[in-house]
Amino acid sequence: MSSLRRLSQALVIAIGICAAASQVDAQQQTALDTARIEQITGLKGTYSKQEDVFKISKPRNDVKIQVDGWTMPPFMGLTSYAAFKPAHGSQAMMMGDTVLFEDEVNPAMSAALDAGLEVTALHNHFFFDQPKVYFMHIGGQGDVAKLAEGVKKVYDRITEVRSAHADPENAFPGHIASPSSITAAPLEAVFGSKGQTNNGMFKVVVGRTASMHGLTVGNEMGVNTWAAFAGTDDEAVVDGDFAMREGELQTVLKTMRASGINIVAIHQHMTDETPRILFLHYWGKGKAIDLAKSVKAALNAQSSSAQ
């Protein structure tokens, strides 16, 4: 048998194996139980045969929203959704976007995290919106019923917040004392490093590195985690930024929320960096030492998840 003939036969066999594997993989995907998703969430959905995706949606028509002086209908981008797609075996993938007012963000985020969902972004879509509207992107993989239950818990938590206060609130609970007189030493002891002081305020910065366009970028270029404290030791505020690899995000979110720290943004600052760095902005009120311990706990959790 010639070498060319043997090569041709080998190619035919290889193509057959690949085709068979593709068929097996397709057969291993279980069709979504769309009726179950609707039953769990209490929402009717739509199915895309072309993409094999089932999507439920929930318009935010419970509060009047103006953007740039114009009353905006939900159709123009004020509708929460969760989309489900079959994965391997009986598993499914879920991705969604959740329309939130400022006082709903952190309760909804905690509900998502507690239900085993991932929170992947938090940002605005508009300028000059009244009241302010934020968008929290969620995702997850696993049993479709559990994913649907997680989405339902997020939506139910939003309803609870609005039932307690029909109009979105304009401040977090707690007081920030003035003028600032933060005692640096106890906070430096918590963080294990020296910080910066300015007019009674205190800041600590922890840098990390990444590669970008053939260069190393680090702390001074903005690749850092920082925490700034103002107010007094008993009535303080902390705000800051966390620089994280993608695999560290969920751990940091869970730790911060478990400590009562409010998350106010999740996004990227750069493009084409290696590894990819995400940034999480936060805001918390309380005793300065307690806030410092909360941030330090998140730093420790981040270090553990990176190992």
Residue 147 has pLDDT above 60, yes or no: yes
134: nearest Cα among 107, 173, 113: 107
Q: Are residues 148 and 223 part of one domain?
A: no
Residue 283 has pLDDT above 90, yes or no: yes
pLDDT interval class at 155 (50, 70, 90): very high
Q: How many domains does one find in the chain?
A: 2
**Contact between 257 and 109 (Cβ < 8 Å):** yes
Q: For the chain, what is the radius of gyration of the CA atoms?
A: 24
Least confident of 56-60, 89-93, 278-282: 89-93
Q: Please give the order of strands across the beta sheet that includes 224-231.
A: 45-48, 53-59, 79-86, 91-101, 133-143, 118-123, 262-268, 277-286, 236-245, 224-231, 201-207, 196-198
Q: Are residues 220 and 156 part of one domain?
A: no
Q: What is the pTM of this model?
A: 0.89
Domain ends where: 129, 164, 199? 164
Mean of the per-residue pLDDT values of the chain: 93
Q: Are residues 291 and 202 part of one domain?
A: yes
Q: Are residues 206 and 160 part of one domain?
A: no
Q: Are residues 212 and 147 part of one domain?
A: no
Residue 266 has pLDDT above 50, yes or no: yes
CA distance 133 to 79: 11
**The CATH number of the domain where 159 resides is what?**
3.30.70
Helical spans, DSSP H, in the chain = 3-28, 34-41, 102-114, 144-164, 184-191, 249-258, 288-306
Q: What is the pLDDT of residue 103?
A: 98
Concatenating the DSSP letter of every residue in 28-80 gives: HSPPP-HHHHHHHHT--EEEETTTTEEEEEEE--SS--EETTEEPPGGGT-EE
| Residue 78: DSSP 8-state | -
151: nearest Cα among 57, 33, 77: 57
Q: Are residues 216 and 123 part of one domain?
A: no
Domain ends where: 105, 129, 164? 164
Residue 104 has pLDDT above 50, yes or no: yes
pLDDT, tens digit, 9 for 90 and up, residues 212-246: 999 999 999 999 999 999 999 999 999 999 999 99
Q: Are residues 84 and 191 part of one domain?
A: no
Q: What is the pLDDT of residue 20?
A: 47
Q: Are residues 158 and 41 part of one domain?
A: yes
Q: Are residues 151 and 193 part of one domain?
A: no
Tell me the residue range of the domain where 223 lies: 184-306
Residue 24 has pLDDT above 50, yes or no: no
Q: What is the pLDDT of residue 184?
A: 98
Q: What is the pLDDT of residue 305?
A: 82
**Could you tell me the two tokens for 101?**
């007012």
Q: What is the pLDDT of residue 30?
A: 77
Longest dimension (CA), the chain: 91
What length does the chain have? 307
119 lies in some domain? yes
Q: Are residues 215 and 156 part of one domain?
A: no
Q: What is the pLDDT of residue 29?
A: 65
Q: Are residues 160 and 47 part of one domain?
A: yes
18 lies in some domain? no
Distance of CA 217 to the CA centre of its chain: 25
CA distance 210 to 272: 10
Q: Are residues 190 and 160 part of one domain?
A: no
15 lies in some domain? no
* Residue with more model confidence, 88 or 133: 133
176 lies in some domain? no
75 lies in some domain? yes
